[in-house]
């Protein structure tokens, strides 16, 4: 993990909450430290210098309100502090916000709200104290095949006209990568590129997420405002709920919006690009996606082909990701043997470029020696020799009681998809069709490490 990612201190005397919150935040890319009491929190605060603190109110040694007062007395430029409270301590949490806490979260925690509030608090701190976010590396689509060359040439032409492009293709083909290429060749190239997985935004939070919020004299910018003069990429729009579709349609048609709690219209100049793995024509026909928004986003449809249709690019992709992981993650250099490359050129790649990237990373982390041979590649891909497979073989968990068998199946099923989509809970939520908050609890109950 980059040492530039935000540092968060989680303070709670309940081990389950402490660990669950920490795992969720780590999965989102934050660096997290944990403290079970006030004494440990004081020590960690001084040593790690967090960008944000999540602080429980009731603790065995010193309560959170007292600790907050101490920290504010010591440091007037204290990082944002979010209080966590049970039902019986909401009044204390309100008192904490009066003293200077950024916000409070009521237990049992809504994980969706946790991520929203944490994101907003860090964004505020970043504006006030300077940035810490790791630098995004723009990677140009790799390959010299006719397919890749033709797609890049089309995007260069489309970029000259600010055309709204809908990228269509299987999961993992690199739709976001091609959207970045469109952005980098457009008049908006010097502005931000904001990527959002719309399926991870809950309907109740979508207005704040897209349009921002005004709270007294504080202004929290939403996605549209943050993308001003740049590009907002809406990933997998087929996962967007109907309420969010309507809100976004209205804002895009008028090119303006009101922040939540605001009274003045905000005008923005944002180029919109979107992607989908679904057949949206069917979603529109069955009333699951608003046709007005579909036609607004779909000025041009650009199909990104699966990797198996341009397998001649696989050697170049293998070399590219080896160099990428050596440069950006300081992994030891390894090279693919010719036999391994030839085998991978004929592999099915159901997860496309994303799967290839994950395979390269796994081989570089777990492998030994400079050369990556064919047997090692087959093991990494989970290949099983035909000798060990029989038509009569069944999984071992078929012999367990139903509840235990179901747990075994769910664990294997979620781990398979978790690995396939690259370890993102937000994307996993969209793939398996489970609401994100419930999914986090399910992963935790099955002891699946994030």
Where is 233: in which H helix or E strand?
strand 231-235
Cα–Cα distance measured from residue 171 to residue 122, given in angstroms and rounded to the nearest whole number: 30
Q: Output the pLDDT for position 164.
A: 93
Joined together, the tokens standing for residue 225 give: 């405002």
Beta 265-267 vs 256-258: how paired, if at all?
A: antiparallel
Residues whose CB falls within 8 Å of the CB of residue 90, separated by 6 or more in sequence, listed in order: 104, 106
Cα–Cα distance measured from residue 217 to residue 130, given in angstroms and rounded to the nearest whole number: 20
Q: Output the pLDDT for position 438.
A: 75
Cα–Cα distance measured from residue 172 to residue 175, given in angstroms and rounded to the nearest whole number: 8
Q: Output the pLDDT for position 175.
A: 94
pLDDT tens digits for range 325-377:
888 778 889 999 999 999 999 998 988 998 898 899 889 888 888 999 999 99
Residues whose CB falls within 8 Å of the CB of residue 218, separated by 6 or more in sequence, listed in order: 124
Which residues are paired to 195 by β-bridges? 233
pLDDT tens digits for range 12-53:
998 888 989 998 898 888 889 999 999 889 888 877 789 999
Q: Output the pLDDT for position 342.
A: 93
Q: Output the pLDDT for position 386.
A: 35
Q: How far is CA 22 from the centre of its chain?
A: 16
Domains with residue ranges and CATH for the chain: 7-129 (3.40.50.2300), 146-303 (3.40.50.300), 307-383 (1.10.8.60), 396-445 (1.10.10)
Residues whose CB falls within 8 Å of the CB of residue 83, separated by 6 or more in sequence, listed in order: 55, 56, 57, 64, 68, 93, 96, 97, 101, 103, 104, 105
Torsion of CA 231, 182, 235, 274, to 10 degrees: 80
Joined together, the tokens standing for residue 282 give: 């069917």
Joined together, the tokens standing for residue 377 give: 């590649």
Peptide bond before 221: cis, by omega within 30 degrees of 0?
no
Q: How many CB atoms lie within 10 A of CB 249?
A: 16
Query: Which residue has tokens 């050369």?
Result: 371
First to last CA, the chain: 14
Torsion of CA 163, 166, 172, 174, to 10 degrees: -10
Beta 300-303 vs 165-168: how paired, if at all?
A: parallel
| Length of the chain as a residue count | 450
Which residues are paired to 83 by β-bridges? 55, 104
Q: Output the pLDDT for position 345.
A: 92
Q: Output the pLDDT for position 424.
A: 78
Residue 393, Cβ density class (10 Å: 0-12 exposed, 13-18 middle, ≥19 buried): exposed
Residues whose CB falls within 8 Å of the CB of residue 44, separated by 6 or more in sequence, listed in order: 9, 33, 35, 50
Cα–Cα distance measured from residue 138 to residue 190, given in angstroms and rounded to the nearest whole number: 13
Q: How far is CA 331 from the centre of its chain?
A: 23
Instruction: Tell which residue, 413, 399, 358, has the closest CA to residue 381.
Output: 358
Please check whether residue 85 is in contact with residue 57, taking contact to mean a CB–CB distance below 8 angstroms.
yes
Q: Output the pLDDT for position 52.
A: 94
Cα–Cα distance measured from residue 228 to residue 223, given in angstroms and rounded to the nearest whole number: 9
The tens-digit pLDDT sequence of the chain (450 residues) is 334 678 999 999 988 889 899 988 988 888 899 999 998 898 888 777 899 999 998 887 788 888 998 888 877 678 899 998 875 566 776 777 777 788 888 888 888 788 888 988 887 777 555 444 433 445 689 998 999 999 999 999 999 998 999 999 998 899 999 999 999 999 988 888 888 888 767 777 788 889 988 877 778 788 898 888 999 999 989 888 888 899 899 998 888 899 988 888 999 999 999 999 888 888 899 898 999 999 999 999 999 999 999 999 999 999 999 998 888 778 889 999 999 999 999 998 988 998 898 899 889 888 888 999 999 998 888 753 333 333 334 556 666 677 777 777 888 888 888 777 777 777 888 888 887 777 887 887 777 776
Q: Output the pLDDT for position 34.
A: 92
Residue 382, Cβ density class (10 Å: 0-12 exposed, 13-18 middle, ≥19 buried): exposed
């Amino acid at each position: 993990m980059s040492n530039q990612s935000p540092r968060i201190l989680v303070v709670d005397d309940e081990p389950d909450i402490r660990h669950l919150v920490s795992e969720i935040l780590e999965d989102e890319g934050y660096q997290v430290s944990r403290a079970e009491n006030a004494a440990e929190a004081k020590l960690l605060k001084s040593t790690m210098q967090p960008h944000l603190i999540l602080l429980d109110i009731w603790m065995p040694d010193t309560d959170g309100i007292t600790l907050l007062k101490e920290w504010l007395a010591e440091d007037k430029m204290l990082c944002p502090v979010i209080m966590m409270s049970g039902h019986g301590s909401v009044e204390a949490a309100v008192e904490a916000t009066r003293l200077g806490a950024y916000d409070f979260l009521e237990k049992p925690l809504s994980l969706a709200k946790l991520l929203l509030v944490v994101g907003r608090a860090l964004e505020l701190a970043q504006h006030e104290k300077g940035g810490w976010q790791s630098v995004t590396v723009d990677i140009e689509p790799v390959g010299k095949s006719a397919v890749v060359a033709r797609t890049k040439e089309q995007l260069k032409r489309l970029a000259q006209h600010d055309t709204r492009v809908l990228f269509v293709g299987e999961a993992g083909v690199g739709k976001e990568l091609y959207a970045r290429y469109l952005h980098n060749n457009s008049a908006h190239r010097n502005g931000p590129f904001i990527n959002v997985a719309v399926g991870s935004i809950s309907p109740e939070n979508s207005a704040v997420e897209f349009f921002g919020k005004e709270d007294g004299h504080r202004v929290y910018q939403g996605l549209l405002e943050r993308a001003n003069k740049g590009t907002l990429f809406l990933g997998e729009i087929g996962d967007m709920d109907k309420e969010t579709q309507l809100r976004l349609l209205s804002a895009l048609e008028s090119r303006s919006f009101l922040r939540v709690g605001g009274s003045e219209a905000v005008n923005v100049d944002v180029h919109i690009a979107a992607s989908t793995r679904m057949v949206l024509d069917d979603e529109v026909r069955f009333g699951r996606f608003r046709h007005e928004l579909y036609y607004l986003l779909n000025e041009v449809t650009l199909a990104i082909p699966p990797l198996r249709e341009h397998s001649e690019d696989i050697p170049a992709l293998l070399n590219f990701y080896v160099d990428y992981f050596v440069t950006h993650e300081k992994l030891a250099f390894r090279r693919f043997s010719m036999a391994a490359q030839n085998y991978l050129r004929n592999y099915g790649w159901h997860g496309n470029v994303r799967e290839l990237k994950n395979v390269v990373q796994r081989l570089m982390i777990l492998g030994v020696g400079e050369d990556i041979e064919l047997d090692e590649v087959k093991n990494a891909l989970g290949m099983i020799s035909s000798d060990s497979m029989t038509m009569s073989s069944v999984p071992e968990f078929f012999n367990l009681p139903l509840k235990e068998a179901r747990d075994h199946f769910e664990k294997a099923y979620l781990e398979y998809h978790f690995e396939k989509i690259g370890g993102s809970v937000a994307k996993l939520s969209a793939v398996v069709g489970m609401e994100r908050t419930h999914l986090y609890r399910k992963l935790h109950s099955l002891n699946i490490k994030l």
